[in-house]
Chain A
């Protein structure tokens, strides 16, 4: 019981305003995190809700992927820290954005996608029984066998032919 109380107390300390945290970006593009009285460390950003509430609850993780700080609202940070965080966040949210779908076909146990992304033309594969995920707001998310994420941000913006290719994967 004692342990739980101690935990509660610790939680309260972290979220108190006098416990100041700041963030900046190093030249090599790393996000550096400093908490008053502690050494500066490089952190990565994990969105707690990447698709359902991207601008709230950002977890800052150290190199062991343990959370060092939870930003529940970007407005809690000072201006410079927020800028640094946003910039890094945009990077870490990098996904392959699909702008055209040339072909989707089955090759035995794999579904092979042949697409054009903002990154360039790319082929990727998904298992046959794994389906793309429709995010509300007309986007489609596909995860390939390697864990890479492909996003069709706006299905309506695709060419008619591309829309036909993905039609089989849509709910309507």
Chain B
């Protein structure tokens, strides 16, 4: 498949030019000059800057070297260069405006910064990469500026530029035909079936051409000679019987070939669709969380479901129908010209015109469909807004407003659909009328020739004329099919593209070839200058460093949005660090075999997810081989056993979507049981108790205490009181680790973040007491 990808897709530099018409790399001339000024030291990173101070388009480049940065500006035909020593930059500001960002390289003097740059958001990621390095250096004097880039500056630049596009669409096919060809390549394993199916279709078409011919023959060579007395009754009957038998045979063969074609292609389509579904689903499971957060769940689900179904439709019927229709048209045209070239031309010449009319009509319908789609989605938005939010609607007494909003949108949907109906209902009868006109003209020109005396050159036999007329009626169906071809191909290619897109997305978390297995994980965790960004622009974690010994229990605290969840997500390797390193037992996480590592990792999340299935299956999820004994032990340890046996079907109760609804605390305890069962070496508790009342919290807390013994634990809690058991607290704020120490130590810090948090909570719980 690798090779195919190369063949059918644009490469990154082509994509950049295709989408942005922007230079796909630093101009050679600029790179040469800059590297010469730097005595041959290589460019580390660079970015394009597209706005000048007057907010007009001007080519500028920001180039990062080991010691300096270069600001390059194009004036007319030449470039001007400005070099700034990186050590002199005291800070970096990136300030987003409505459609541009301003980058300021500070100098310590607010009046005279080193550089002020403006660029559209499109350039933001690439510039941000440079800003990040400069910012790190400004905040950390010992920073040596070395970046461990294994990737070339060109690749980083191209990746950054195309990131948003790839998020919307991971791969870019060269064109529709490339997608169709790729789709057809899935037929390769089924060559024989395809050959039989296509052969059947062709023979079927050929058979369909026979009956009118035979009819003409019967009239000219049997009926007419008999009527003029040139043939005896017996002879005529004899030939007629043979002819009719021949006719019957063509019908039988035709349907036999139809059967061959339909059955072969229908099965084939199913196989291809199944292959695709399997591929897509197993590939989805490999993809990183990033992929899932950048797409709507519905859109991912439809790729496995309805998109593969459309592909089946296309392969089973579309491909064959279109080919046979084209062959049919060509066949009919040739037969007509062969039978009588004068009348034939009458039919064949207007044909392209009719096809063109259909094509134009399709174009017009596209823009109507687009409008209708937009109005329709406004209507469904209304639904998906208010149905889940129905409580709010009722609470604020906005039912009437919502009803009238819906009606308004519904009206405009109706308007659009009416527009569509008006367009096609007036088009097709008109088109049919023009086809009838052609048929009529065949009669007008043909009948006088049939009636003319036989010795004239333009004379036409009655039989030829009849078969001609019969052939004419066969024109309509293929024309209709070809008319719909554009739409069918569009639908199939966009479905196929969506499916291929999933297949072409590379998992971001990938194990090295020489991945290490830790057996068992001891649980020493080190963060070394870890930075991370979800979007490549805003740093969510900034140079976080700490050490945790095996068996230590760490409490992570800090205001919401400070990056606690992000930190543990990195530890679970849902994402890879942006820069810096995470070591577990001294091994870089990226060198570990991720599956094996995650098996020794337990996570209890704030909103635990239960799959559709029984309680037993849910607890057993991570360890399918667990015995019933173990399950009960785990459930007891999680304080879940008691509520489970109150349910009439106990451990066999169905839960999850459409199943028995459990309360937040109950689901929480099930997920704790699930974690206990795998006996993890490193345990992550992310606000595991924040969504429950205090009595349930007590039960969960007890369960957790059992669970935490003898493991390395990272516990995130909103209520600081739940972290009393922690050996050490790490305090996060705005993505930085700002304080560490025990509860008492942290309280002693005047004006400390922890102390403030603690005091606020004390006050809150105090006022709660007053209320109660």
Contact = CB atoms under 8 A, between A and B. Distances in A.
Given A44-B102, A91-B97, A92-B98, 12 more contacts: A26-B112, A65-B95, A91-B55, A92-B97, A94-B99, A109-B501, A119-B56, A123-B20, A125-B168, A145-B164, A148-B120, A167-B371
B98 A50 contact: yes
A126 to B, nearest CB: 8
Interface string A98-130: 000000000111101000000111011101010
A29 B97 contact: no
A125 B57 contact: no
A90 to B, nearest CB: 9
Nearest to A171: B412
A145 B167 contact: yes
Interface in A1-38: 1-3, 26-30, 32
Residue of B19, B51, B498 with most partner-chain A CB within 10 A: B19
A89 B501 CA distance: 41
Residue of A28, A29, A93, A150 with most partner-chain B CB within 10 A: A28
Nearest to A39: B110
Nearest to A131: B374
A41 B371 contact: no
B112 A28 contact: yes
B208 to A, nearest CB: 36
A136 interface: no
Residue of A27, A95, A167, A168 with most partner-chain B CB within 10 A: A168
Interface residues of A, number: 47
A92 B324 CA distance: 60
B110 A40 contact: yes
11 contacts: A30-B110, A94-B55, A94-B97, A108-B493, A109-B494, A119-B51, A127-B168, A129-B377, A147-B121, A147-B124, A168-B371
A157 interface: no
A42 interface: yes
B95 A32 contact: no
A165 B99 CA distance: 23
Which 3 A-B pairs have CB atoms at the shortest separation, nearest pair first?
Answer: A109-B169, A149-B99, A145-B164
A129 B256 CA distance: 45
Nearest to B377: A129
A106 to B, nearest CB: 8
Given A92-B98, A120-B57, A125-B165, A1 B21 contact: no
B110 A108 contact: no
Nearest to B101: A147
Interface of A: 1-3, 26-30, 32, 40-42, 44, 50, 63, 65, 91-96, 107-110, 112, 119-121, 123-125, 127, 129, 131, 144-150, 167-169, 171
B374 A146 contact: no
Nearest to B170: A109
Contact of B370 (A2, A94, A168): A168
A150 B168 CA distance: 19
B53 interface: yes
A85 B252 CA distance: 86
Contact of A145 (B111, B165, B497): B165
Contacts of B111: 26-28
A28 B116 contact: yes
Contacts of A95: 98-99
Interface string B463-503: 00000000000000000000000000000011001100100
A91 B97 CA distance: 9
Interface in B397-431: 412
A148 B121 contact: yes
A167 B169 contact: no
B97 A93 contact: yes
A95 B371 CA distance: 26
Contacts of A28: 111-113, 116
B98 A149 contact: yes
Nearest to B493: A108
Contact of A42 (B19, B55, B104, B168): B104
A1 to B, nearest CB: 6
A144 B124 CA distance: 14
A53 to B, nearest CB: 15
B767 A1 contact: yes
B98 A94 contact: yes
B93 interface: yes
Contacts of B43: none
B658 interface: no
Residue of B53, B57, B99, B412 with most partner-chain A CB within 10 A: B99
Contacts of B113: 28, 30
Contacts of B19: 112, 123, 125
Contacts of A32: 110
A145 B162 CA distance: 10
Interface in B85-125: 93, 95, 97-100, 102, 104, 110-113, 116, 120-122, 124
A2 to B, nearest CB: 8
A115 to B, nearest CB: 12
B763 interface: yes
Contacts of B112: 26-28
B334 interface: no
Nearest to A149: B99
Contacts of A148: 99, 120-122
Contacts of A107: 172
B173 interface: yes
Contacts of A121: 21
Contacts of A112: 19
A156 B466 CA distance: 58
Contacts of A65: 95
Nearest to B120: A148
A93 B97 CA distance: 7
A123 B161 CA distance: 14
B367 interface: yes
B670 to A, nearest CB: 36
Contact of A26 (B110, B168, B374, B501): B110
B358 to A, nearest CB: 20
Interface string B736-759: 000000000000000000000000
A93 B100 CA distance: 9
Contacts of A109: 168-169, 494, 497-498, 501
A92 to B, nearest CB: 4
B21 A123 contact: yes
A112 B370 CA distance: 14
